[in-house]
Structure formats: C-alpha cells, structure tokens
Structure 1
Amino acid sequence: MRFIFPILLLLAACSNPSGKNEESTEYSGNPVFDGWYADPEAIIYGDTYWIYPTYSDEFDKQVFMDAFSSPDLVNWTKHERIIDTAEVKWAKRAMWAPGVISKSGKYYLFFAANDVHEGEIGGIGVGVADQPEGPFEDLLGEPLINEIINGAQPIDQYIFKDKDETYYMYYGGWGHCNVVKLNEDFTGLDPFEDGEIYKEVTPDDYVEGPFMFIRDGKYYFMWSEGGWTGPDYRVAYAVSDSPFGPFEREGVILEQDDKIGRGAGHHSVLKIPETDDFYIVYHRRPLEESDRNHRVTCIDKMEFDQNGKILPVTMTFEGVPAKPLK
C-alpha cells in the first residue's frame, strides 16, 4: 500500500506535465474592456497588443478616439483622447473606424470623419505620432480622400502592408470597396502600374469594414455586410491569389447568436507571432440593449479547416486565454 500514493502523484504529473493549475488560466472576458466601443482595429506593436476602436455614440458626440493596450489580452490600459476634433480642424463629428500602422519609427492613425456625402468636406484623414498612444497630430490638415469614388463613401479604411512592403489602403461604405496605393510618407496616393489611382474590388454582398491578411500565401479579404444598426450585421470573407482579387465570396463566419449578442461585425484580426493562432476582434450589441449605439468590443478565437477555409466563429462571454507576447 505504501507505493500507491507515489504512483498517483506520478500519474497526475504525467496528465499535467506543466505542474500548473489548469483552472487558474485567465481569460479576457467579453467585452474585453468597459464602455461603448465599436469598429475595433487590433494590432501588435513590439510586445504589446493594441486596440483602436470607434467611440460608439451619437454622431455629434463622436469627436474623439481612445485606445487600449495590453501585455496579454486580459489586462487592458485605457489611453484617452489620442486624437480629437480640436486637433483635426476639418473634422466636426462622426470620427470613425481607426486604421493603424507603424512605419520608420512613426505611428499612423487613419480615420474617417463627418459622415461625408457628395459636395461636403470630410472623409479619410491621417494622424501621426511618435508613440502608439499618441497624441496624434493631423498629418495633412485636410482629408487624404474626400471624394466619392466608384460609389464608395470614404470611410472604414484598413492599411495593409503587402509581402513586397507596398502599403495599400482598402476602404469604402455604401456597398462599394476601393483599394489605393499609399505613397512613401502616407501624404498622398501613388498610381498603380496601369495609371489608375482607385481600383474597385467590391465582392458580393459587401457593405463596409474591409480587412485583409495573408495566410499560407493566400490573400484573405474580409468585410461586414447587413445593416450596422440591426441584428443581421455579420462578417464574410473571400480568398484570392492577389491583393486585387478577384474576391469571390466564400460565406459568413461571424454573425449574431441569440444567447450571446447581436449585430456582430466590423472586425479586425490578430495573428500571434510565430504561431498559427488567429483571433478575431469585433463589436457586438448586448442582448439586453436596443440603442443602436451601444456596441462593445469583443475577442474570440478564429480557426481554419484543413483546406484553409475559415470556420464559423463561436462568440463567447469568456473571450480568449491570456497570451503574453514576452
């Protein structure tokens, strides 16, 4: 009998070789931080995760942007008013959907403002800062894109760095999406080889919120469809061999769950460095809320099948486990 207890200890160690209490794993929880925030743009700078969302409220109250940083996806620090309409003189309202990137030691925040329509001042602007938390200064003093081109309202910009280090920007609302090539210092647009400045790349059922990433040499183009104020808002995607498409719709991978939340969409994607782990960062409307502006930022696992197709995302209240970057 004296050998039974050591044997049990050995078996326990083999079943949990780390020796850690598996129940002690911390999870992000959903929403990942408090407050009304939508259109989250997630990115990794160094050993820190960042989320740049829209402050979700009435258009006339959307006059600033906050950011959030975390070492592990669980513990988040709020950075208030990283940019606002006091700095961006041409912006009056409806500051939306940050798109962020770093280059040559500078941090850039692209944003839309004014819910611009034909003949109005507004559209996509660019902020620049020396650190991820800002404060961001207006780089141009005017919109980078003001006009309605190919029917696309200039909103919801995503900045994509291709394999050859060319920077493209995908953008557009009102059911149309354009891609443009950014110049070296993000102060303007360069023409494509055929001389065009704007290329329309709109897939079937596209509404807004474009996003692009590369996996196994393939270009995954994602977007939101449906109405952002309703329960049918959702995320779909396409796969192509080129950043310019053609983008043939594969299907929906994120949508409402009557037990979790509605209006799930306008997302971004995080890939953990040196792994094949992907997370989708998105907003959704809590079940108990009817206010169209009450949206919260969430994060869940995004996985692929053996053929590289994105599997439907399961929305959760738990979120994702802690994932330190160092």
Structure 2
Amino acid sequence: MSFTRSSWISCIAAGLLTACTSQGMPESSSHGLPGSNPLFSEVFTADPAPMVHDGRVYLYVGHDEAGTDQMFNITEWLVFSSDDMRHWTAHGPVMKPTDFAWASRDAWASEVEEKDGRFYLYATVEHDSTDPGKAIGVAVSDSPTGPFVDARGSALIRNSMTKMAAHSWDDIDPTVFQDDDGTAWLYWGNQILYYAKLAPNMIELDGPIQTLDLAPYEEGPWIHKHDGTYYLMYAAIDRSVSDNEQIHYATAPSITGPWTLRGMLTGPGENSFTIHPGTVEFEGQWYFFYHDASQSIDGLEGAIGRRSVRVEYLYHNADGTLQMVAQTPEGISIPPRLSSNP
C-alpha cells in the first residue's frame, strides 16, 4: 500500500473486478507456463506474503476489487499454496477485516507466522470510530489455510499509539521476523518505520515502540536472514528514479541494527504506483515476490487497486549484498542459475 497525500488525490482506479477464485481450484499464470508472471490469472492480488510450512509455500495476498471510483477496495485475504513454486492451489479467503469486531473495512497488507503449531495473521485494517485510522490486528488459526479468528479482541497497534506521523495511515504493512533464539519482532509503518519486540505469546508487545530512519523509506517492510546477515526490504520513492515506488534494502549484523543502506533492489512495478516485497527460501533456493498492475482480467485493466502478484529468483552475493532483481514475464518458469554469479 502507499499513501502520500498527493497519491490519494491523483491515483484513482478504474473499472470493476468481477472475477473470483474458487476454493481448492488450481491457479495458473496468465502466460500459461507454470511459474511465469503474473502468477494468478483469475483474480487480482496484491501485497504478497510467503511462508513455508511442511514442504509447501503458502502465499497470502490481498484480493484487489477496486471499482470505477475507488483507489482501493480490498475486502478479504486469500491464500494459495504450492509444493514446487510453479503450480498453485487456491484455498479461498482466510479472513475478512470485519472478522475483527473492532474493525470496519480494508484488508490491506498482511503476513502469517507459525509458532508452536499455530498460525498468526498480522493484518492492516481500518479501526472503527473508537480509534479511527489504520490499525494492525492479529488473528490465529490451527491451519495455514484458516479460518483465522481474532486472537486478542482488540487491535495490537492502534493509530493513537503512534503519534509521529501527520496522517492516519502510518500503522500499516506489518511484518514479523522470528530470530534464531525464538524472539519475534514486529516491523510496520508508512513514511515512518516502527518496530517493537513481540511477547512469546505472539499477540502482545514486549517492549516500547521504536523507529528506524531509513530514508527514503515509504512502507512495506520485509525481513529475512541469510548467512548471519539480516536483510530489510521496503518500498521507497527515489524520485531520481521514478515517482512510483521501488524496492530498496538495508543489511545489518543483528535484527536491531545498525542498518546499512544498500540502495535499490528492483525498480517500480509496471503500471503501478505501489510495490510490495516478500521473500522466502524453499528447497535451497531464494525467491522474491512483488506485485505490479500490468495484467488485465476479463477485460478489466490493471490499476492502482487492481494489481497482480509476481515472483523472481533472488540471489545473495558473498559480500552480503543482493543482486538486482529484474522483473520478467518468464519469472521462475525457467531454471535458476547454478551459481549466484550473474
């Protein structure tokens, strides 16, 4: 998601989404070759969040349904799964924003984490009038395909808890990283990057809310660890590159830093103001998920609120940096390189 004040005024989506995905039905890419981009041709999807569990990759996405006069209309979170990263099964909706009794709408970016056999969905929603603004809820399930239910009965993060931003949508895009010692950390935020330690029960904070200065950070953080290095990806706007978001990243020797800015990982998504990262290692290979708005479905053109998830291979360099990611129609339908060298 993205939300500068100018973008709210200038980026209005067009058209009406009518396509939907049936639970348990296979999904194929729009190019026909398994693993090519975009991944799903039956439904618009955004904000990809992958998770590996028991030999399968589960991919959680928002269901884009923007109409003629809407920027965003995202009413539910969907999940797909695969045992080979190329053939995906749709499992249908796992939750809606209104399943949180205190929320009113907006299934914005989410992520699922597993701990002790339970699955925790951290999700962005609009809080009701008791604390208006974007908020982060946490839901729980005994299955990665849900259904998920509110784990707290109240928001984990509310707009009134963070007062640094001048707008009401700074509490968005939650991502949770569990370190090797089992400690879990929550990162989130638009224009301001917040983070806090989570309690062992995964549904409470266990320390103060802190901030990181990673200019030009915009939103959409995502963290992974490889060979002792922590990687923090995020959507940024470097206007020397584009007025649309790009993915930048930073590295650190620990989850709390110090973080070293590494610059751009990939440029803007085609036809899309927003872009949102998600990474996963599966069977020894790293993958990078993102979205753009290049795809049309049933005659409806892609737009800021009608996006499509994509995937590419991700390669780590020996010096701890990442290789630039090229956005391709082939995606991972072709084999990965045998080494990480270009």
Indicate how the Cα distance of structure 1 residues 85 and 265 shifts in structure 2: closer, same or farther if over 3 A, else same. Answer: closer
Aligned to 2:192: 176
Indicate how the Cα distance of structure 1 residues 148 and 190 shifts in structure 2: closer, same or farther if over 3 A, else same. Answer: closer
Which whole-Å CA distance do the structure 1 matches of 2:313 and 2:324 have between them? 10
Aligned to 1:55: 63
TM-score (norm 1): 0.80
Aligned to 1:305: 317
User: How much has 1:118 moved relative to structure 2?
Assistant: 11
Which whole-Å CA distance do the structure 1 matches of 2:202 and 2:276 have between them? 24
Contact 1:237 1:250 in 2 (8 A): yes
Contact 2:185 2:198 in 1 (8 A): yes
User: How much has 1:186 moved relative to structure 2?
Assistant: 2.0
1:236-259 Cα distance to aligned partner (Å, 9 max, x none): 0011112112323211011137xx
User: 2:183 is matched with which residue: 147, 166, 177?
Assistant: 166
User: 1:215 is matched with which residue: 209, 223, 226?
Assistant: 226
Which whole-Å CA distance do the structure 1 matches of 2:197 and 2:64 have between them? 29
RMSD: 2.5
Aligned to 2:212: 201
Aligned to 1:131: 143
1:201-238 Cα distance to aligned partner (Å, 9 max, x none): 231100000111111211111110139xx862110001
Which whole-Å CA distance do the structure 2 matches of 1:172 and 1:313 have between them? 24
| 3-state SS, counterpart of residue 67 of structure 1 | strand
After TM superposition, the structure 1 stretch with the greater mean CA deviation from structure 2, 304-313 or 36-45, is 304-313
User: Which one has a bigger Cα radius of gyration?
Assistant: 1
What amino acid is the match of 1:64?
E
Aligned to 1:233: 245
Contact 2:119 2:140 in 1 (8 A): yes
Indicate how the Cα distance of structure 1 residues 127 and 116 shifts in structure 2: closer, same or farther if over 3 A, else same. Answer: same
**Percent identical residues:** 27
Contact 1:63 1:92 in 2 (8 A): no
Contact 2:174 2:189 in 1 (8 A): yes
Structure 1 alignment gaps of length 5 or more: 1-25, 192-196
Which whole-Å CA distance do the structure 1 matches of 2:130 and 2:259 have between them? 28
TM-score (norm 2): 0.77
Contact 1:27 1:319 in 2 (8 A): no
Indicate how the Cα distance of structure 1 residues 215 and 170 shifts in structure 2: closer, same or farther if over 3 A, else same. Answer: same
Contact 1:201 1:245 in 2 (8 A): no
1:54-79 Cα distance to aligned partner (Å, 9 max, x none): 12234774221111111111111112
Question: Which structure 1 residue ranges, 4+ long, deviate > 4 Å from structure 2?
Answer: 115-119, 260-264, 287-290
What amino acid is the match of 2:217?
Y
Aligned to 1:272: 282
Indicate how the Cα distance of structure 1 residues 57 and 99 shifts in structure 2: closer, same or farther if over 3 A, else same. Answer: same
How many residue pairs are counted as aligned between the two chains?
286
User: How much has 1:284 moved relative to structure 2?
Assistant: 1.0
Aligned residue runs from structure 1 range 1-326, under 5 A:
27-34=34-41, 35-58=43-66, 61-114=73-126, 119-120=131-132, 122-146=134-158, 147-149=160-162, 151=164, 153-173=170-190, 175-191=191-207, 197-226=208-237, 232-256=244-268, 262-263=272-273, 265-273=275-283, 275=284, 277-286=285-294, 289=301, 291-321=303-333
Indicate how the Cα distance of structure 1 residues 231 and 122 shifts in structure 2: closer, same or farther if over 3 A, else same. Answer: closer
What amino acid is the match of 1:211?
W
Which whole-Å CA distance do the structure 2 matches of 1:272 and 1:314 have between them? 20
| 3-state SS, counterpart of residue 189 of structure 1 | coil
Which whole-Å CA distance do the structure 2 matches of 1:290 and 1:41 have between them? 20
1:94-120 Cα distance to aligned partner (Å, 9 max, x none): 111111111111111110101789951
Which whole-Å CA distance do the structure 1 matches of 2:176 and 2:136 have between them? 12
Indicate how the Cα distance of structure 1 residues 117 and 201 shifts in structure 2: closer, same or farther if over 3 A, else same. Answer: farther
Indicate how the Cα distance of structure 1 residues 216 and 47 shifts in structure 2: closer, same or farther if over 3 A, else same. Answer: same
